[in-house]
Amino acid sequence: MMIRRPRRNRKSAVIRELVEETTLSVRDLIFPIFLIEGDNQAVAIDSMPGMYRYSPDRLLDEIGACAELGIRTFDVFPSLPESKKDRRATEGTNPEGLYLSTLRKIKEHYPDVCVMTDVAMDPYSSDGHDGLVQDGKILNDETLEILGNMAVAQAEAGADILGPSDMMDGRVGYMRQQLDAAGFTDVSIMSYTAKYASAFYNPFRDALDSAPKFGDKKTYQMNPANRREALLEAELDFEEGADMLMVKPALFYLDIIRDLSEAFPIPIAAYNVSGEYAMTKAAAAQGWLDGERIMLESLLSIKRAGAKIILTYFAKEYAQGVKEGRW
């Protein structure tokens, strides 16, 4: 005679929902969104079906539409022409430039929206790297001053959360010092703590035209073979004052999400990256997979692994389905 029958807790939809261990909400999601120059522009990204690069006016419209669906946090990424890029990424601190002026407009139009930013040199660098390049080498300490100035400029423009994605050693502590000295003690830092040198970033680099002009990023992004190293990176960022720790990519690094969530008492974020999104969309377009079910299962698995926050290109699609009662 069997006393313990787990199927009893699965016998109806009501009971399954009653005992559900992991729940997903629109409030868990951050929507990455792409910015370009111009007016009335919404340029499709071929490798990311359903995603667009928006001019500032259309970006404001898109944020408004998403806010009505319940999305409250947006991570804004700029795509700049080569003419605006230089070796020291000076456009990243130009208060009248595309990025910083648009951040101010977002906060003026939607003061209750949470704006996250990207702190790294690559969108503005003529070399396409996240750090200052000299003689083919990525300089770590010399990059920190540039990142610190960029962080303060973004805070001045109204950023709520800064996302240093560069993977330079010591950047969280340096940025925290610069922000606090400038009076921005309330501006949060979500550190890209375990950012792996992954093959899943290519559609994002297409969207921003930010691929490195030489070599790769393996001297600063993490080796996909390493797990314990993520704990070291997390410990450093935590001690330097990070408010949230991020793992990137998400789906192929669920073990890293779990490790960090168990080891640190601050929120863990995970970036469901462009390649993970593109894979799902491509398979769904071929009829090989049910795209909506894959989206839901993917997001749920990231949350189940321990991520409190998920950056995902599926945010709008998921929020629309919630509004329509489809899941």
Q: Output the known binding site.
A: 233
Identify the sign of the CA torsion 308, 312, 318, 319: positive
Q: Is 316 a catalytic residue?
A: no
Q: Which member of 85, 217, 248, 281 is catalytic?
A: 248
Q: Which residue has the tokens 């990137």?
A: 248
Report the binding-site residues for Mg(2+): 233
Per-residue b or e along 159-186, where b marks 16 or more CB atoms closer than 10 Å to that residue's CB: bbbbbbbbbbeebbbbbbebbeeeebee
281 labelled catalytic: no
Determine which one of 84, 85, 195, 281 is catalytic: 195
Amino acid identity of residue 203, one-letter, is P
Q: Is 190 exposed, middle or buried (0-12, 13-18, 19+ CB in 10 A)?
A: buried
Helix segments in the chain, DSSP class H: 13-18, 56-68, 98-109, 141-156, 171-181, 202-208, 228-239, 254-263, 274-285, 291-305, 315-323
What is the rounded distance in angstroms from the CA atom of residue 310 to the CA atom of residue 172? 21
The catalytic residues are 195, 248
